[in-house]
Amino acid sequence: MSAPEPFGTRLRRAMDARGPLCVGIDPHPSLLTAWGLGDDVAGLERFAATAVDALAEHVAVLKPQSAFFERFGSRGVAVLERTVADARAAGALVLLDVKRGDIGSTMAAYAAAHLAPDAPLAADAITVSPYLGYGSLRPALDLARAGGRGVFVLALTSNPEGAEVQTAVTAAGPTVAQTVLDRLREENAAELAAGAPLGSFGAVVGATVGETGADLSFGGPLLAPGVGAQGATAADLPRVFGSAVGQVLPSVSRGVLRHGPDPVALRAAAAREAAEIARFAGSGA
């Protein structure tokens, strides 16, 4: 049996074909209300299904935020399972935003829940937190590599509180964030040496963080939250990401979802976002 195609290769192809855009599926109570839905499982299910039906055949990546499903308990998690499966079946790559971070067998269990091929909540990629030590992520990194899936590691996040940890200087000299980025470079080296256009191991770097001074040329994708409601624009991307801007996958949630529940309006909003982002962060930038 041949090895599965790496996530980074699939992501690059999707970004080139559909535009470099990730749309979050965030069933926030205010959005459910704005769509005329109840803040309950029925509303959650309608919201998620509408977003998938409208967008999964058109955008490169859909990013369900697990917490907004989990708050409804087991029935909400069941909706999340269907959302992930339906989005992938319709042709979108699914990045499940779970930000897992633990040690040993617990991290291995989280990895199995979201990256094992037969797991009910298996996604194309997940977000993880390295702040119990980058090495604690090894079970997820190894399982992702074996299965052709991806991992996005928090590095320089868009929330202001993140800076107190992420910009701290380590005993070895680099910042904590740069240490994470350097480790990701090592993670991607084998894929890139084999000719992959993009590594499968990415970083989360907020579009609102400004000029970071960090070396972002680690060969993997850069998930960039913060475009839209959080204040960043597509025009900010070259300033934040510099020569790595072609690797950027901006994430937009409310900027698209506020146009629902009309599927045509959702698709039009996503198309506008993708076109504007491609002007500044397309693969040819």
Catalytically active residues are 99
**Contact (CB, 8 A) for 65 and 72:** no
Q: How is residue 23 written in tokens?
A: 């749309």
Q: What is the model's pLDDT at position 1?
A: 65
User: What is the secondary structure of 1-70 as a DSSP string?
Assistant: -PPPPPHHHHHHHHHHHH-S-EEEE---HHHHHHTT--SSHHHHHHHHHHHHHHHTTTSSEEEEBHHHHH
**180 pLDDT higher than 60:** yes
What topology does CATH give the domain 7-277? TIM Barrel (3.20.20)
Return phi, psi of residue 251, to 5°.
-110, 125
Instruction: Provide the token pair at 151.
Output: 């991992």
d(CA 152, CA 222) in angstroms, rounded, equals 8
Per-residue pLDDT at 220 exceeds 50? yes
pLDDT one-digit tens code per residue, 192-204: 999 999 999 999 9
The reported pLDDT for the residue numbered 284 is 40
Per-residue model confidence as pLDDT tens digits over 109-147: 999 999 999 999 999 999 999 999 999 999 999 999 999
pLDDT digits (tens, 9 = 90+) for 62-119: 999 999 999 999 999 999 999 999 999 999 999 999 999 999 999 999 999 999 999 9
HSE (side-chain half, CA atoms, 13 Å) at 92: 30
Q: pLDDT averaged over the chain?
A: 95
Cis, peptide link before residue 250, omega less than 30° from 0:
no
Residue 41 burial (10 A CB sphere; 0-12, 13-18, 19+): middle
Distance CA 273, CA 251 (A): 10
Q: Are 57 and 270 in contact (CB under 8 A)?
A: no
The two structure tokens encoding residue 138 = 């090894």
**pLDDT at 236 (0 to 100):** 92
Query: Tell me: the pLDDT tens digits for 146-174?
Result: 999 999 999 999 888 999 999 999 999 99
- CA distances (Å), origin 268, targets 52, 128, 190, 261, 271: 14, 31, 39, 12, 5
User: What is the structure's pLDDT at 230?
Assistant: 73
At 227 the pLDDT is: 85
